[in-house]
Chains A and B, each alone.
Chain A
Amino acid sequence: MEDDRLFKFRKPQWLNSAWVRNSGVYGAGALFSLAFYVLLDAAVWSKSRLNGSDVHVTFVDWLPLIFSSLGMLIINSVEKARLSTDSFSYSGNGVAWKARVVLFLGFAALAGGMAGGVTVFVLKFVVPGVGWPMMGMGVENVVANGLVGLSSVVLWISQNMEDEYSYNLAL
């Protein structure tokens, strides 16, 4: 197990504890919640009295977040153990291939959501030259999609820790 690692630096020992793993999952939920409320903040601010302009948050602004969340759902629903065919492939070759295709779709949705956030920001806020307090709505859109990406990274890493952890326990 120690001999066939790929990189020079080994993973620190504290990463394998169940406590770190659980707090990683809690943290992923927290980051996702933060993303949702950042975009909700933009929508509420857009309808409040503070917004004097006629730039408003519409359904188009929500679409990138919907796509990012869908991508995150797909990525984290895939069973990670089915991805590695070269080690102990009791599941056969076809399952790993399907898992990779589904995972690709998930990453495409996540990256598409982020790109969509930047697109909305550029086309709706930068190009028409919207002033600053209104520009915040577009910035919040980009930030929300970035937070969804960060959340799925944290969730992915802490789910990969699970294998090591259960392996150590099984020994």
Chain B
Amino acid sequence: MPTAGLKTIIALSFVLAVGFLLVILSCALWKVYYPLLVVASYVLAPLPNWICSRCSNPDDFVESSGNAILDLGRFCTGFLVIMGIALPVVLAHSHLIDVGAMVMCIIGGLLIYGTIVSFGMFFQEEQEF
């Protein structure tokens, strides 16, 4: 893992800005502001994992209750990530938003979530060592 230098931060913030641009454009072009919910779901997605990793003690192999709460966090994260993709599809199926808005919104949401995940990966790695 290369050190997270200035270039990484610039690239990540650029991708994040492009993601937000796509989501906001998908709302503003058709003047229907439902797709903003996708941003909320992707921002909330790493949260259960984060909270549950604080609650558990992964070094404890005798008592498996620590692993159960980690699994709960992973389950909730998986739920929220698919929610970010499924919500625009549901809205587009009922013609509440346009299909173009759906595509832009999904791509933008994935870019935002990818930025959050890779940011967490880079900077957690640096803290460990």
Instruction: Indicate if B75 sits at the interface (CB-CB under 8 A).
Output: yes
Task: Determine the distance from Cα of A155 to Cα of B61 in the docked complex, in whole angstroms.
Answer: 20
Instruction: Indicate if A153 sits at the interface (CB-CB under 8 A).
Output: no
Dominant SS among interface residues on chain A? helix
Give the contact stretch, choosing among A37-45, A86-94, A111-119: A37-45
Dominant SS among interface residues on chain B? helix
When the two chains form the complex, which single residue of B64, B74, B89, B96 contacts A26, counting CB atoms closer than 8 Å?
B74
Q: A25-B71, A27-B78, A44-B94 are in contact. List 7 more A-B contacts (CB 8 A).
A: A28-B78, A30-B78, A33-B78, A37-B87, A41-B89, A48-B94, A162-B64
Binding site for A on B (CB under 8 A): 61, 64, 67, 71, 74-83, 86-87, 89-91, 93-96
> Would you give 8 A-B contacts (Cβ < 8 Å), ordered by A?
A26-B81, A30-B81, A33-B81, A37-B86, A41-B93, A44-B90, A44-B93, A45-B93
Binding site for B on A (CB under 8 A): 22, 25-30, 32-34, 36-37, 40-41, 44-45, 47-50, 79, 81, 155, 159, 162, 166, 169-170
